[in-house]
Amino acid sequence: MKKKKTYGEVYALGQYISMSAPKARRVIDQIRGRSYEETLMLLALMPYRACDPILKLVNSAAANARHNMSFNEATLVISKAEVNEGTTVKKLKPRARGRSYPIRRPTCHIRIVLQDTSFDEFEEDFFSLKKDAWEKKNKDKNMTYHDIYNSEGLWHKK
């Protein structure tokens, strides 16, 4: 499946972060849909260990937006934020009487997508102009919907 190219979006991806995915999702769910500046304040004040790597990713995505796309940080919004499970590092810890105890260190992949809201305003203006022109062009054409399944026209057996 080919990805649709989206304009006005930048992202940062952090892979193999040493943390379980549910612990990172707890923080990600709080910042999804918020503005960039509000997210920085939330992450600085939240008491979870997951806030530090997520804060680094948000700053990295904002730096990508500023440097690569010349976006203003005041108009950035976190449009998508997702956490996926990564590989689990498995080790053995020696215990008494020659036995071993397995230790599992889960990792996760975090992706933060920032969207520029000023670009959305431009896009809405552009597409509203196209829609008005299409409505004027197709004003005379009458479009009807015919329900062939409920009108007994196709499989009517008498």
**Residue ranges of domains in the chain, CATH in brackets:** 9-139 (3.90.470.10)
Better-predicted residue by pLDDT, 125 or 57: 57
Better-predicted residue by pLDDT, 155 or 30: 30
Percentage of the chain beyond pLDDT 70 is 71
Per-residue confidence band for 8, with pLDDT thresholds at 50, 70 and 90: confident
Judging by beta carbons within 10 Å of its beta carbon (0-12, 13-18, 19+), is residue 24 exposed, middle or buried? buried
Tell me the per-residue pLDDT of 26-73, one tens digit each, with 9 for 90 and over. 999 999 999 999 999 999 999 999 999 999 999 999 999 999 988 999
For position 101, what pLDDT does the model report? 95
Better-predicted residue by pLDDT, 97 or 118: 97
| CA distance linking residue 117 with residue 120, whole number of Å | 5
Does the pLDDT value for residue 113 go beyond 80? yes
Per-residue confidence band for 118, with pLDDT thresholds at 50, 70 and 90: confident
Contacts of 75 (CB under 8 A, 6+ apart): 116, 117, 118
Better-predicted residue by pLDDT, 129 or 13: 13
Beta strands in the chain (DSSP E): 9-17, 76-94, 100-116
| CA distance linking residue 27 with residue 48, whole number of Å | 8
Per-residue confidence band for 7, with pLDDT thresholds at 50, 70 and 90: confident
Whether the CB-CB separation of 39 and 101 falls below 8 Å is answered with no
Lowest mean pLDDT of 18-27, 48-57, 111-120, 121-130, name the range. Answer: 121-130
Does the pLDDT value for residue 139 go beyond 90? no
